Copies of this chain bind each other. A is one copy, B any other.
Amino acid sequence: MSTARSEGMNYAPKGKPNPVVKPGEFEFSAVALDHGHIYGMCNGLIEAGATLRYVYDPDPAKVEAFKKAFPDVVVAQSEQQVLQDERTKLVASAAVTNLRCALGLRAMNAGKDYFTDKAPLTTLDQLAAAKDTVTKTGKKYMVYYSERLHVEGAIYAGQLIEQGAVGRVLQVLGTGPHRLSAKNRPPWFFIKEQYGGILCDIGSHQIEQFLYYTGAKDAGITYSRIANYAHPEYPELDDFGEAMLLADNGATNYFRVDWFTPDGLGTWGDGRLTILGTEGFIEVRKYHDIASGQTGGNHVYWANGEGEYYFDATGKVGCPYFGQLILDCVNRTENAMTQAHAFKAAELCVTAQLKAETIRGSAAV
């Protein structure tokens, strides 16, 4: 299981274990293993003290692979078996993107909190249904925005901002290149209705982190566009997307996402995050420091009035999201992430995709 070579497909970063509950105190189950992010989601929860109870997926091969990574899990015979299990408090899932909301509705209606891979949904109708069901059931619809929540360098950037290291945040600039590895992708990955488009899919990380680092409650899509520059064999693939946003507090965002990571790069994507503040700036090289001789990610660079700094956050910061999520489920609090924030990011990534212009000459339909 290499996080260096295969984006997402088996993404399961090892964090700093920091259990917030005792074994058996908080149990969850995994349903729908269509995206490898489910491994990172389960790892994160288990490191924070949660107990993995059931797994269910209609594909026995996916279940078998999952059981190798989590040998203590019990294989359920149906989704219904999981949803009817009283000990399961939360359902974690990484379904095909456009099916994530429907599964979430079933989970919440069965009295479970829901924790889905990003993007959490693909249409505004799904968003409306998710909001209604959250209101009706009082359950949570939480999201694994892994490129912030499961990256210690990104966590550390948030801590620097909280400490006032760079003053007021004016802009978040993110680039999220990914390796396509087309031959290892399932068919749904190339069907726009199913994966949601690049701005909805990997753009969701970018929009979530923008809202987070700027402390914005709302934002608008200033402009967005997509292209299929170089993959005519997958006419519904967006291999490039970019957007500008403006937050309610005046902060701005630009991000670019793409599927052009070349094979010679030592990781699946040279993801970067640059935060411009009134008193300084932060750059996070999330997964890699190109041609530096260093391996691994979480490289945090910043400068302010006092000087310039570097910190390797790997193994030093942890990913508090998972423990906070467990405690939020137990205590009905919102410390990991508010429901409003999770839904706002979802709304904006869907809207960015809906509003996107297609670059002329592109193969995109």
Binding site for B on A (CB under 8 A): 166, 168, 170-171, 173, 175, 177, 222-223, 225, 227, 229-230, 240, 242, 244, 246, 249-250, 252, 254, 256, 258, 260, 262-266, 270, 274, 276-281, 283, 290-292, 301, 303-310, 359-362
How close is A3's CB to chain B, nearest CB, in angstroms? 17
Contacts of A177 in B (CB 8 A): 276, 281
Minimum CB distance partner of A307 in chain B: B264
Cβ of B291 and Cβ of A310 under 8 Å apart?
yes
Known A-B contacts A171-B256, A173-B256, A223-B222; A264 and B276 likewise in contact (beta carbons under 8 Å):
no
Contacts of A291 in B (CB 8 A): 301, 303, 308-310
Known: A244-B244, A249-B361, A262-B305. 11 other contacts (CB 8 A): A166-B262, A168-B229, A168-B230, A222-B223, A229-B278, A242-B252, A242-B254, A244-B254, A254-B254, A262-B281, A262-B303
> In whole angstroms, what is the CA distance A230 to B281 when docked?
15
How close is A58's CB to chain B, nearest CB, in angstroms? 37
> In whole angstroms, what is the CA distance A254 to B252 when docked?
13
How close is A220's CB to chain B, nearest CB, in angstroms? 11
30 contacts between A and B (CB under 8 A): A166-B262, A168-B229, A170-B240, A170-B258, A171-B256, A171-B258, A173-B256, A223-B223, A223-B244, A225-B246, A230-B278, A246-B359, A249-B361, A250-B359, A250-B360, A250-B361, A254-B254, A260-B281, A264-B304, A264-B306, A264-B308, A270-B281, A283-B290, A290-B301, A290-B308, A290-B310, A291-B301, A291-B308, A291-B309, A291-B310
Give which listed residue, B230, B262, B283, contacts A304 with CB less than 8 A.
Answer: B262
> In whole angstroms, what is the CA distance A151 to B309 when docked?
25
Minimum CB distance partner of A223 in chain B: B223
Contacts of A310 in B (CB 8 A): 290-292
> In whole angstroms, what is the CA distance A253 to B175 when docked?
13
> In whole angstroms, what is the CA distance A255 to B174 when docked?
12
Minimum CB distance partner of A222 in chain B: B223
Contacts of A303 in B (CB 8 A): 262, 264-265, 270, 290-291
Give which listed residue, B173, B254, B264, B361, contacts A280 with CB less than 8 A.
Answer: B264
How close is A168's CB to chain B, nearest CB, in angstroms? 8
> In whole angstroms, what is the CA distance A254 to B242 when docked?
9
> In whole angstroms, what is the CA distance A308 to B261 when docked?
11
Cβ of A276 and Cβ of B262 under 8 Å apart?
no
